[in-house]
Each structure stands twice: as C-alpha cells, then as structure tokens.
Amino acid sequence: MKLLEEMIRKYGEIKNDEVLLVDSFLNHQIDPQLMMELGKDFVRHFKNKKITKILTIETSGIAPALMCGYLLNVPVVYLKKSKSKILNEELYETTVHSFTKDIDYLITCRKSFLSSDDSILFIDDFMANGEACLGAIDIIKQAHAQLAGIGIVIEKAFQQGNAKVSQAGYEVYSQARISSLEKNEIQFIDESAVPRTFCGIDR
C-alpha cells in the first residue's frame, strides 16, 4: 500500500536493524484519516469473505480494526492482555510472546463474543515473529469459529512471522512488507511482483 509506505518512510524511526517506531501515526499518536484508508484497503481485499466479526489484540490493532468494522458494519472484538477477576470460567485464553518487550503475556476473550457461527477477520498492527497472530488463531480455534483472513498493517518480512503462519496452513495479507532496516534505511518488498492467495480455517 503506497500511502502507508510513504508514511513509514516519512515518519518511521529506525531504532536498530530489527525495531521500527511508528508511534507518530499508528500506535501512540493515531492518524484517523490513515486508519480509514487502511480499513478501506482491508475491506477491498476481504470483501468476498462474508466476515461477521473483526478480531484484534489490544491496543495498537484497535484503530485499523475499528475502521474496518465500521465499513463492514460488523462488531470489533479485541483480545485483552489481562485476565478478568470475575470471568475466570467464561474466557478463551492463551499465552503469547512479545518480540518487542521480550515477555510472555496472557490474551483473553469473553466466550460470549465469539462463536462457531462467526467468520472472523484478524487484524494486527505489526507482524514480527508471528506469535500474536498464532495466539489469536488459537483463540479462534477454541471458539470453533472460522478464520476468514489475516490482515497485517506492517510486516517485518525479514523475521519469521509469515513463515510460521504459512507453515501452520494460513496466509497473510500485509499492507506494507519491510524487507530490511539495515544501514538505517527502510526497504520494502515490491508487491507488484508477488501474487497473493488466501485460505481460511476449517471448523
């Protein structure tokens, strides 16, 4: 997505060869107009998937997910990074590892918000090693729901996330795919030469 790539080039801050900050427009300060364009792009891509719900993880995936949910007129559910003290037996839960913070954390979702009737689009802001995505897939499986697609705003394609998800049998649509952050320069994969296909999860 050229608009997103331009924003990353203009406002992204490279911290090292593996870490890129985009907190000026995506995950601290949020650009609402850009979020709407991201939502439109996801909707164009997944328009034939009969999506009933959008799923994301707090907090940075919420903004693009909300725009997508608004455009599709479906609810947006976000997985919490905490466990309720009053809903212990009413939660789907799993543990994921954060690449950025190098910690394990629990993600949870109230069982009444996902069901076997749902066709779910999972959206997240970043994909690095794919752990958050695989955690969300685990929650979707627990609910016996169907995964209609996986949408990622920024993928660090030089890390293992996409490979892990692909090896598990799923494919990913990423709006911007970064091939390198080395030498303090952002390099993108040219998507015009890369065909994309998608698959869902059988119940």
Pairing between β-strand 187-188 and β-strand 173-180 as defined by DSSP bridges: antiparallel
- Answer yes or no: is 20 a known binding residue: yes
Residue whose pair of structure tokens reads 């995505």 in the numeric block: 133
Question: Element (H or E) spanning 135, and its range?
Answer: helix 131-142
- Answer yes or no: is 2 a known binding residue: no
DSSP codes, 46-96: HTTS---EEEEETTTTHHHHHHHHHHHT--EEEEBSS--SS-GGGEEEEEE
- Answer yes or no: is 145 a known binding residue: no
At residue 104, what are phi and psi to the nearest 5 degrees? Answer: -90, 140
- Answer yes or no: is 130 a known binding residue: yes
- Answer yes or no: is 132 a known binding residue: yes
The C-alpha atoms of residue 131 and residue 57 are separated, in whole angstroms, by 12
- Answer yes or no: is 129 a known binding residue: yes
- Answer yes or no: is 184 a known binding residue: no
Instruction: Say how far residue 21 (Cα) sits from the centre of its chain.
Output: 16
- Answer yes or no: is 131 a known binding residue: yes
Please enumerate, by residue number, every residue annotated as part of a binding site for 5-phospho-alpha-D-ribose 1-diphosphate. 128-132
Binding residues, by number, are 20, 27, 128-132, 156
Annotated binding site for xanthine: 20, 27, 156
